[in-house]
Amino acid sequence: MNIGIIDADLLDNGTRHPNLALMKISGYMKEMGHDTSLLLNYNDVYNYEKIYMSKVFSFTDVPLDYRQFPDIEYGGTGFFEDGGENLPQDIEHHMPDYQLYDPYIAAKVAQGAKPNTYSDYVDYSIGFTTRGCFRKCDFCVNKKYNHVFRHSPLTEFLDKNRKYIYLWDDNIMGYNKWHEVFDELEATGKYFQFRQGLDIRLMTDEKAKRLKTLKYKGDFIFAFDHIQDKELIQSKLKLWRKHINKTTKLYVLCSFDSTNTYDETFWVSDIINTFERIKILMQFGCLPYIMRYERYKTSPYRGMYINLGRWCNQPNIFKKMSFNNFVDRNQELAKTPRPCSAKRYADSFRLRYPNVAQKYYDLRFEDLNQYK
């Protein structure tokens, strides 16, 4: 058969990462003797006997009434909250087709894109060594499994010709034989990283010591989703900093309410809690990365969430400037006596809640960092 592969996220918004499920499907189908092609638009769907389509994000637009095409199979968290049906075992455990995206990359480079933009597509072996997470976080789509289990050996998706490895494991820290995975990674001699982040709440001295010895690529990334975890997170970061001084980031979830209330009390409390988590991370020399749940767009303080993201998610700015410094710098760059948007957002919130502004607006990373 002549099979078409559609990465819907790629065709709509572009995406930094290749779609692993589609690469596995392509690899399997090629082994079965079929021809597979990554579609670069939706115009050619009629030229294929079978279409496999996937999307990760629910907001990705698919300008095609795919339900009317009996020859199109679709899946992924963009279509189904739990990702839909699992791939058949023969496909799930097949070596990914790492050449699937080559025509797309070649076309983009020919148009002037820099080749290193597509490093994730060409430099990394990609896969899961474990699956599952027991956390069941309300905001997370990963609720299909209630425990962490071994999914595949590293050899299942390792391309020895690729320089690096990245792993999509849901919660490797929750796997009781995590050391076996680390042994396999160490044996490759390659740099690797976990793209989903690691669960700092499950950190131990043994895990921290082992991670220190491994060839970890890039920054270590954890999460600080709830202010209620404050004491636990602080104790684990203290343990972490005892062993590792490498750059460490933590995702800071905001604008999410599990009770779905979203009233004035929630919005103000949420901004305060976000600032408090930022303060704690400053003290441990860690960088916050603001993760705004989509409801922030409906908040009367939408602009504050925009400001917080722009301030924190640019490390070179965050390390040097307080929130006030950041806002003032935006005003300077605006080169107008009228308040810029960043200034308006910050001043409006300050006017309503001066005590909050007084407590947090002038906090500086370099002043609070205890692990310089």
- Using alpha carbons, select from 183, 223, 227 the residue that is nearest to residue 203: 223
Smallest CA-to-CA distance from 73 within 91, 107, 50, 46 is with: 50
Q: At what angle do helices 302-312 and 341-352 cross, to 10 degrees?
A: 120
| Domain housing 177 | 123-218
Regarding whether 242 and 202 lie in a shared domain, the answer is no
Please write the tens of the pLDDT for every residue from 72-85.
999 998 998 888 88
Q: Do 241 and 288 fall within a single domain?
A: yes
124/166 Cα distance (integer angstroms): 6
Same-domain pairing of 174 and 260: no
- Using one digit for the tens of pLDDT, what is the confidence trace for 151-167? 999 999 999 999 999 99
CA distance 296 to 302: 6
Give per-residue pLDDT as tens, 244-294: 999 999 999 999 998 889 999 999 999 999 999 999 999 999 999 999 999
Distance CA 235, CA 168 (A): 26
pLDDT tens digits for 197-247? 899 999 999 999 999 999 999 999 999 999 999 999 999 999 999 999 999
In this structure, the answer to whether residues 7 and 63 fall within a common structural domain is: yes
Give the side-chain half-sphere CA count within 13 A for 107. 8
Lowest mean pLDDT of 6-10, 82-86, 178-182, 309-313, name the range: 82-86
The C-alpha angle with vertex 24 and arms to 127 and 219, in degrees rounded to 5, equals: 25
Q: Which of 130, 125, 123 is nearest to 153 (CA)?
A: 130
**Cβ distance 241 to 284 under 8 Å?**
yes
148-178: b (≥16 Cβ within 10 Å) or e: beebeebebbbeeeeebbbbbbbbbbbbeeb
Residues 123-153: tens digit of each pLDDT:
999 999 999 887 766 766 676 778 899 999 9
Average pLDDT, stretch 284-309?
Answer: 97
Q: How far apart are CA 227 and CA 127, in angstroms?
A: 32
Residue 320, pLDDT > 70, answer: yes
Q: Side chain identity at 309, as an amino acid letter?
A: G
Question: What pLDDT is attached to residue 336?
Answer: 87
Query: Are 154 and 175 within one domain?
Result: yes
Residues 204 and 104 placed together within one structural domain of the fold: no
The fraction of the chain above a pLDDT of 90, given in percent, is 86
**133, 107: one domain:** no
For residue 143, what pLDDT is reported?
Answer: 66
Regarding whether 117 and 132 lie in a shared domain, the answer is no
Q: Which of the four pLDDT bands, split at 50, 70 and 90, describes residue 70?
A: confident
Check whether residue 319 and residue 334 sit in a common domain: yes
Which residue is associated with the tokens 């308006």?
A: 344
Boundary of a domain, candidates 172, 198, 218: 218
Same domain, 224 and 360: yes
Confidence of residue 16 (pLDDT cuts 50, 70, 90): confident
User: Is the overall model pTM greater than 0.75, yes or no?
Assistant: yes
**One domain, residues 367 and 241:** yes
- Residue finishing a domain among 122, 147, 176: 122
HEC secondary structure over the chain: CEEEEEEHHHHHCCCCCCCHHHHHHHHHHHHCCCEEEECCCCCCHHHCCEEEEECCCCCCCCCCCHHHCCCEEEECCCCCCCCCCCCCHHHHCCCCCCCCCHHHHHHHHHCCCCHHHHHHHHCEEEECCEECCCCCCCCCCCCCCCCCEECCCHHHCCCCCCCEEEECCCCHHHCCCHHHHHHHHHHHCCEEEECCCCCHHHCCHHHHHHHHHCCECCCEEEECCCHHHHHHHHHHHHHHHHHCCCCEEEEEEECCCCCCCCCHHHHHHHHHHHHHHHHHHHHCCCEEEEEECHHHHHCCCHHHHHHHHHHHCCHHHHCCCCHHHHHHHHHHHHCCCCCCHHHHHHHHHHHHCHHHHHHHCCCCHHHHCCCC
The residue from 96, 122, 148 where one domain ends is 122
Q: What is the pLDDT of residue 139?
A: 67
Does residue 11 carry a pLDDT above 90?
Answer: yes
Q: Is the dihedral of CA 149, 194, 255, 17 positive or negative?
A: negative
pLDDT at 357: 98
Average pLDDT over residues 115-123: 95
Largest CA distance in the chain: 68
Tokens coding 83: 């990702």
Residue 218 is encoded by which pair of tokens? 């890039």
The chain-wide mean pLDDT, for the chain, equals 94
Q: Which pairing describes strands 149-150 and 130-131: parallel, antiparallel, or unpaired?
A: antiparallel
Query: Domain check: are 246 and 306 in the same one?
Result: yes
Domain count for the chain: 3
